[in-house]
Chains A and B, each alone.
Chain A
């Protein structure tokens, strides 16, 4: 029996419609970034790279990018170190109380962002680190920890628990077991949690709005004010660079998969 064409292609067509919806806003910023005008508009036949050039010369945006990169790298380093220690400790412990500890570590991910923002605002003002680098770094670290812990616990769950016993039987101390046996086995998990923490910090805005005001201005803060006041096409140029990088990473990652 011949099936009607419509029902045969309908599911795939609907799927690709979904794909279009997901990618449309990312594609929309590309033409805007090449507009020759100073305000947000489509280039009508005339293309210009002025907004990209401005990205390379404008002091304000450059310092925003620098701040975000520095904060992101420090956050990624601190998050990775304490999350690795925590996840390895939980893996060694294998106790029934660890569920509670893991639950506590994941809480900042589950609590609505506005409440985390209020909480960290309370903390930074009481600790007198409001609107300072340490304040932003602590706030971003708290938010990145759950994601790093999940990534590392997944990586650790792939390790054979006998490996620890074997190392210990051969006379390795717990520190030696950790550094020479466990950590090399979860190196991709460590790399992934570092990257994740960096990206989360790099694009964090809802909590950053609450813990900074004038002294520490990250790139997302600049974009936030840029989007709310006058929409500056330089945002489109930054967006295109970020989207291109993410798309490239995704393509490389997906090519490796079967």
Chain B
């Protein structure tokens, strides 16, 4: 038996190599090597050295953009996870029709382009938009509320974009909760409130942390929704990199910011992976 497997192994190794090679080669040439190229820009453009990183560390303008990015992403993650928890709960435990309605409300937006979704929010939140014109017609307000082209608009749009990404891991964690534990708690006299806060919430905590992390990290590198709903006034790190590259052609600074961002994302991934088993979230 042992000799038989040894005899077939070398031949099979070369065959999977043939199956796996096209994808790995494509990514190597068009992704991994160019990624190193981007890192190299950060220390060679416009001249050799760490001047771009020094600028990232000292420039107060960049600091305020970084702080704003962290603030908006953290708020987005909090609201998305809260909403996603609610939706996931109904998706897993609701009656059949409600489950379908929730699935529809999560999956349809998920499939639709970020541009169309940002456009929908623009149509709702603009000064002449549906919400403001309805409120004015009813007579509740005389001047339109500032709902868009500010942080509020950006956060609304980002929460809407990110919520489905938070729903999926939460649904997967909730499905793994053993309901007999809740029945046991109920049998021992725990009321609904206590059953939720002392049992269900702690059991789903890995999902909450995982979902928060996924949304936060995803939001960090995202610039389409902020660019459209922020209208150029709520510049976040990714949009700032975009303008550095496309308008001012400052490749060195753009690359240094991107490298810093990637380093931060890797650090967060490492920290969170010590608390959360990501494979459990994907089940």
Contacts and interface: CB of A to CB of B under 8 A. Distances in A.
A246 B228 CA distance: 23
Contacts of B18: 89
Contacts, number: 254
B12 interface: yes
A29 B115 CA distance: 12
Contacts of A93: 16, 20
Given A26-B109, A29-B116, A15 B34 contact: no
A113 B221 CA distance: 6
Interface in B64-121: 83, 86-87, 89-90, 94, 96, 98, 100-109, 111-121
A129 B86 CA distance: 46
A41 B128 contact: yes
B120 A89 contact: no
Contacts of B35: 115, 119
B100 A254 contact: yes
A142 interface: yes
B119 A254 contact: no
A64 B132 CA distance: 33
Contact of A15 (B90, B111, B126, B241): B90
B124 A25 contact: yes
A47 interface: no
B23 A18 contact: no
Given A122-B41, A203-B114, A101 B24 contact: yes
Contacts of A145: 23, 26-27
B94 A18 contact: no
A104 interface: yes
B133 interface: yes
Nearest to B116: A239
A133 interface: no
Contacts of A122: 34, 37-38, 41
**From B106, B112, B128, residue with most partner A Cβ within 10 Å:** B112
Given A108-B27, A174-B15, A118 B241 contact: yes
A12 B23 contact: no
A15 to B, nearest CB: 4
A250 B167 CA distance: 17
A248 to B, nearest CB: 10
Given A28-B130, A199-B111, A247-B108, A114 B15 contact: no
B173 interface: no
Contacts of A228: 227-228
Report, as a range, how many residues of chain B touch the other chain.
35 or more
Nearest to B106: A22
Contacts of B16: 89-90, 92-93
A107 interface: yes
A110 B114 CA distance: 18
B184 interface: no
Given A11-B90, A15-B86, 17 more contacts: A14-B86, A21-B160, A22-B163, A26-B117, A28-B121, A40-B126, A86-B19, A107-B27, A112-B217, A114-B238, A118-B258, A122-B34, A174-B12, A202-B113, A236-B119, A243-B108, A258-B96
Interface of B: 12, 15-20, 22-24, 26-27, 29-35, 37-38, 41, 83, 86-87, 89-90, 94, 96, 98, 100-109, 111-124, 126, 128, 130, 133, 160, 163, 217-218, 220-224, 227-228, 237-238, 241-242, 245-246, 254-255, 258, 261-262, 265, 269
21 contacts: A15-B87, A15-B89, A25-B117, A29-B116, A29-B123, A31-B130, A41-B128, A88-B19, A89-B19, A90-B20, A92-B16, A108-B27, A114-B222, A119-B38, A120-B31, A203-B113, A220-B113, A220-B115, A243-B108, A250-B107, A257-B103
Interface of A: 11-12, 14-16, 18-19, 21-29, 31-32, 40-42, 81-83, 85-86, 88-90, 92-93, 101, 104-105, 107-108, 110-123, 126-127, 138-139, 141-142, 145, 149, 174, 199, 202-203, 205-206, 209-210, 220, 223-224, 227-228, 231, 235-236, 238-239, 242-243, 246-247, 249-251, 253-254, 257-258
